[in-house]
Amino acid sequence: MQTHQPKEDKIADTLDISPIVKEKKEVTVVEPPKDDQSQRDLDYSRENLYHLVERGRDALEGILDLAQQSQSPRAYEVAGQLIKTVTDTNRDLIDLQKKAKDLFKDDNVDPKTINNNLFVGNTSELTKLLGGTARDVPSGKKKL
């Protein structure tokens, strides 16, 4: 079993200086306080929209029955407006959900994909990895 001893820094010894040792700093993660008021407002808004959709559906059933019995064009017009209102309320409910995701999303989430590549090895291994041999690489010397 080998023990790792610090390597001698020949350059620092030659220059008669001591090498700078960087200290690792600990990073503490501080959780942001949860905004209970925003969550309560979101829940209240969602509950109101659910209630409005249910009331709209009940009213729509009643107005459609009335329109069929009376055959009044005005009753059908009101039914059409009510259908549009219920549809818009459903759309508002979906928009509220999207805004809630944006409001409560965690900005400190690490990315899922990391595309950093690092080669550790010598030049001979790199040349082999790239599909050649060390003899294929020009030496950089020109013959005169």
Spatial contact of 59 and 82, defined as CB atoms under 8 Å apart: yes
pLDDT in tens, the chain (144 residues): 444 445 677 777 787 887 777 777 777 766 656 667 888 888 888 899 999 999 999 999 999 999 999 999 999 999 999 999 999 999 999 998 888 888 777 666 666 776 777 778 888 787 887 777 656 555 555 555
9: helix, strand or coil: coil
Rounded Cα–Cα distance for residues 134 and 121 (Å): 14
Domain parsing of the chain, residue ranges: 44-104
H helices present in 16-72, as ranges: 36-70
Quickly name the fold that domain 44-104 has. Helix Hairpins (1.10.287)
